[in-house]
Amino acid sequence: MLNRCTWAFVWLLVCCVGAPAWAHSSSNSYLNFAVRDGVAVLRTDVPLRDVDLWQDLDHNRDGQVTWAEVSPRAPDLLAWMRAGLAVQAGEAVCELTPDALQASQHADGMYLSAEWAVACPTPPTQTGVPWELRYTLLFERDNLHRGLLRINAPDAPDAPGSAILSPERPTAELVMTQPSALAVLGHYVVEGVWHIWIGLDHILFLLSLLVLAPLVPTRSRVSQWPAVDRFRTALLEVLAVVTAFTLAHSITLSLAVLKWVELPAGVVEPVIALSVVLAALNNLWGWGGVRRWRLAFGFGLIHGFGFASVLVDLGLPAQALALALGGFNVGVELGQLAIVAVFLPLAWWLRHTALYRWGVVVGGSVAMALAATVWLVQRVWG
């Protein structure tokens, strides 16, 4: 029984580490839903680099996609975009009529943009008939792709105005009515939980800091460290790491969302990848490694800017900023604690086995370092 559980645990870690190692850095599309003069409009901004990857736009193979290469394909590209979008009002399917395809600039490069007039049998503000957006563009070929939905509701400024769409959760309700304070809080708690669970770089950073918790540091190689005798010892080590990480990223998340301190994504994303590399390699340095709670706090400050970048892109209700920010932060912590709650009991149970030391600590740390190195290269030169 122990052997089966040991291999199951190692397989789980391999799945967490191996999947992102072979995938490119995650990408985001931006979806904006609004009502203008009584007409519902959906704007879609899709990364040009991803469109080129799947639609082969760079005909001359010079590494640069120009508008001259894009414009002849506009009808096909709009049809391709349309196939990944759907809006429903209750059971009725709404019509989407596109405007002209355009190019737009975002912080991380060029995007292809289109606006779609949304025609439904019932208006979006009518109670009892919820509108729902389904987004599946790029999901079939890229399970790291995300759709960041922002909802602008002029008659309901406190409405939960954002959602993260993914292969596991491709739909979101288009809320256009004034919600209760509890509804706003609950919405952003869910978004916070979801964001940490789909943030593979954040998960790997956390796991890289936890794998040594059930072992006693000695001057021998990490693979020879003995198991701790008391669960309280391992738990205190985990609490030190989690508390440091939570404190750090909560500080910078709040500062960035309030726009008191801002860092460009071109700096934040590579440093997040670098943090995983260094945290994983730190496990292999053994006795001479840096105390893990210090790494958690130092790099947690950078991870906070990463959390904030998504939240800023999603948008926050101006009249309920504190509720939304607090809810998102609480959600991130709940998602983080759920990961710890799964990892720690299994690690504690398997801490005496050589497979844990070699397969999880040594092999897992090497795999995490390699995966994050791939991300680092892609985020700097990709």
pLDDT, one tens digit per residue, over 173-185 is 887 666 677 777 8
Give kind and range of the element (H or E) at residue 29: strand 28-36
256-274 average pLDDT score = 89
Better-scored residue on pLDDT, 26 or 182: 182
What's the confidence (pLDDT) of residue 255?
Answer: 92
d(CA 182, CA 127): 19
Coil, helix or strand at residue 115: strand
Please name the amino acid found at residue 116: W
Closest alpha carbon to 133 in 230, 40, 241? 40
Better-scored residue on pLDDT, 363 or 14: 363
pLDDT at 139 over 80: yes
d(CA 296, CA 243): 9
Arithmetic mean of pLDDT over the chain: 83
257-265 average pLDDT score = 87
What's the confidence (pLDDT) of residue 309?
Answer: 80
Better-scored residue on pLDDT, 289 or 192: 192
What's the confidence (pLDDT) of residue 6?
Answer: 46
What's the confidence (pLDDT) of residue 8?
Answer: 47
Band (44; pLDDT cuts 50, 70, 90): very high
Give kind and range of the element (H or E) at residue 242: helix 231-257
Is 0.75 surpassed by the pTM of this model? no
What's the confidence (pLDDT) of residue 159?
Answer: 54
62-71 average pLDDT score = 86
d(CA 115, CA 104): 12
Closest alpha carbon to 104 in 32, 31, 48, 42? 48
What's the confidence (pLDDT) of residue 176?
Answer: 65
126-140 average pLDDT score = 81
Better-scored residue on pLDDT, 158 or 137: 137
Least confident range from 15-24, 252-261, 371-380: namely 15-24
Reported residue count of the chain is 382
d(CA 134, CA 16): 27
Band (54; pLDDT cuts 50, 70, 90): confident
94-119 per-position pLDDT tens digit: 999 998 899 988 766 789 999 999 99
pLDDT at 126 over 90: no
Band (45; pLDDT cuts 50, 70, 90): very high
Is residue 1 classed exposed, middle or buried when 0-12, 13-18 and 19+ CB atoms within 10 A define those classes?
Answer: exposed
Q: Is 241 left (phi over 0), alpha (psi -120 to 50) or beta?
A: alpha
What's the confidence (pLDDT) of residue 39?
Answer: 83
Band (123; pLDDT cuts 50, 70, 90): low
Q: For residue 338, what are its two tokens?
A: 């759920």
238-254 average pLDDT score = 92
Better-scored residue on pLDDT, 109 or 155: 109
Percent of the chain with pLDDT over 90: 43
Rounded alpha-carbon distances, angstroms, from residue 368 to 17, 133, 281, 316: 6, 35, 9, 33
What's the confidence (pLDDT) of residue 84?
Answer: 94
CB atoms within 10 A of CB 99: 13
Closest alpha carbon to 356 in 227, 246, 234, 204? 227
317-337 average pLDDT score = 82
